């Protein structure tokens, strides 16, 4: 029991030590100026695309037709981003810095290497749902700061990420629209249930 607790404590301490070192390396390696400009501009464009354009198309065309339209547009936009990223050859999203640090940490820690290898699909799904096909492909493709286009494997990652990320966002947008559309009814039901609760009525 004591040995197991010692091993657990050693693992936790080692894990947090790696996290601290990782954070310091990220700060040191990132081009803060380029990243701040690139991230700000990308965030503005992405938010406009995701919350304005995407929502408008889903409302107007519905989740199926609108979803197909937005998947095509998303593919075009992401490919433009990837092409620009490779032409500019500037790590304005911090992707290459994170990849470089990840490779260093994997080389130094066998248990982290094992976790990364086993969790590759989970990593792919998280990045795809959190961001977009551009960031997913740039992050998942082999090599660091090479900006050398797309291999066959990179194209597979891109198209799969395109489907995953858009299906996820269509679900999020359509759910939000449905809730907003039925908000009046939801509030009415909530008010009736609240009133019944305080008056001691039963349905």
| Pick from 90, 74, 192, 181: nearest CA to 136 | 74
Best CA proximity match to 180, nearest among 55, 68, 90: 55
Neighbours of 67 (CB within 10 A): 21
Q: What is the mean pLDDT of the segment spanning 48-77?
A: 93
Location of structure tokens 């248990």? 111
Quote the mean pLDDT of the chain.
79
User: How many other CB atoms are found less than 10 A from the CB of residue 17?
Assistant: 10
Q: Do the beta carbons of residue 151 and residue 141 sit within 8 Å?
A: yes
Structure tokens at 50: 């995701």
Given a contact cutoff of 8 angstroms between Cβ atoms, the answer to whether 85 and 146 are in contact is: no
Q: What is the DSSP letter of 143?
A: S
Mean of pLDDT values over 149-173: 94
Residue 173: per-residue pLDDT: 92
What is this structure's pTM? 0.73
pLDDT digit string, tens, across residues 100-121: 877 777 776 666 666 666 778 8
Is the model's pLDDT at 72 over the cut of 90? yes
The pLDDT assigned to 2 comes to 47
In the predicted structure, residue 17 carries a pLDDT above the cut 60: no
Dist. CA 33–CA 139, nearest whole Å: 20
């Amino acid at each position: 029991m004591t040995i197991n607790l010692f091993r657990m404590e050693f693992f936790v301490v080692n894990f947090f030590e790696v996290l601290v070192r990782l954070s310091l390396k990220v700060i040191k390696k990132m081009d803060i100026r380029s990243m701040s400009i690139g991230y700000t501009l990308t965030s503005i464009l992405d938010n406009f695309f995701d919350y304005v354009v995407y929502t408008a198309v889903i409302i107007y065309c519905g989740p199926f037709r609108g979803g197909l339209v937005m998947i095509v547009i998303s593919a075009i936009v992401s490919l433009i981003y990837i092409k620009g990223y490779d032409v500019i050859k500037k790590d304005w999203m911090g992707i290459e810095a994170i990849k470089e640090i990840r490779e260093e940490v994997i080389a130094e820690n066998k248990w982290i290497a094992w976790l990364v290898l086993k969790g590759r699909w989970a990593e792919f799904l998280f990045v795809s749902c959190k961001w977009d096909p551009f960031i997913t492909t740039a992050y998942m493709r082999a090599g660091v700061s090479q900006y050398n286009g797309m291999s066959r494997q990179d194209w597979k990652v891109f198209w799969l990420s395109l489907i995953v990320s858009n299906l996820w966002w269509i679900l999020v947008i359509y759910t939000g629209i449905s809730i907003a559309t039925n908000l009046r009814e939801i509030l009415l039901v909530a008010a009736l249930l609240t009133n019944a609760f305080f008056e001691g009525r039963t349905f």
